């Protein structure tokens, strides 16, 4: 059965400065809009199924500044996506955003067959992919992953490779809940401020 709602989930990366997205985040948004326009070439309101963009990054550059997800939404609006079709989400790390987004989709758009297209960098999915598959199964979502190439520097790639080895080892041992708690605790500080350079 074909889905009656399609949701483009765009994963945030980091800030270039307090009020500007980094190059990686911008590339992910560009790719999301490209996929949307190639798949649905007419204007969004002409279509059934319904379509939404959901952006992550519920964390500020520093306390009191805008969250990444706010800047992501503003960028999509500038690219011609209607604000009423853009959802922001809680969650701000490899594990927490997979859980938060999956559960939010079920709450916000209940009683529908939902197709979820997650747009992010290849290295992000190395570590986050198992969490997305876990929560997609739990919430009966059909999930596909659109991998954006040529993002992130060598430092970020190495860090996410290390994350991936650890995460996938815990999953293989049947300890997904344990590594989820570890990652959430490790990345919890992002809610207070996030200045890591994901393009380095």
User: Which domain CATH number covers 9?
Assistant: 3.40.50
Is residue 197 domain-resident? no
- Quick check: 33 and 165 in contact, CB under 8 A? no
Is residue 196 domain-resident? no
pLDDT per residue as tens digits for the range 6-37: 899 999 998 998 889 999 999 999 999 999 98
Residue corresponding to tokens 């990652």: 183
For residue 67, how many C-alpha atoms fall within 13 Å in the half-sphere facing its CB? Answer: 17
- Token readout for 15 is 């800030």
pLDDT per residue as tens digits for the range 110-158: 666 678 999 999 999 999 999 999 999 999 898 999 999 999 889 999 9
- Quick check: 27 and 72 in contact, CB under 8 A? no
Instruction: Enumerate residues 6+ apart whose C-beta is below 8 A from 12.
Output: 25, 28, 55, 56, 57, 68, 69, 72
> Range of 30's domain?
5-191
Give the three-state DSSP class for 60.
strand
pLDDT per residue as tens digits for the range 179-193: 999 999 988 888 788
> For the whole model, what pTM was predicted?
0.91
How many domains does the chain divide into? 1
Is residue 16 domain-resident? yes
| The pLDDT value given to residue 63 | 86
Is residue 100 domain-resident? yes
- Quick check: 18 and 65 in contact, CB under 8 A? yes
Is residue 200 domain-resident? no
């Amino acid at each position: 059965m074909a889905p009656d709602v399609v949701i483009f989930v765009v994963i945030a990366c980091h800030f270039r400065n307090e009020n500007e997205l980094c190059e990686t985040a911008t590339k992910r948004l560009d790719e999301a809009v490209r996929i949307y326009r190639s798949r649905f070439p007419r204007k969004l309101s002409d279509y059934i199924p319904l379509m939404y963009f959901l952006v992550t990054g519920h964390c500020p550059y520093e306390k009191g500044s805008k969250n990444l997800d706010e800047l992501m939404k503003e960028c999509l609006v500038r690219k011609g996506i209607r604000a009423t079709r853009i959802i922001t989400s809680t969650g701000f790390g490899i594990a927490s955003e997979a859980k938060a987004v999956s559960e939010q989709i079920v709450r916000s758009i209940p009683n529908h067959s939902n197709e979820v297209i997650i747009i992010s960098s290849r290295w992000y999915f190395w570590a986050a992919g198992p969490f997305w598959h876990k929560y997609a199964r739990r919430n009966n979502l059909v999930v596909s992953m659109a991998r954006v190439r040529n993002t992130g520097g060598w430092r970020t790639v190495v860090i996410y490779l290390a994350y991936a080895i650890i995460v996938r080892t815990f999953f293989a041992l049947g300890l997904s809940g344990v590594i989820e708690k570890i990652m959430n605790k490790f990345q919890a500080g992002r809610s207070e401020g996030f200045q890591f350079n994901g393009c380095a």
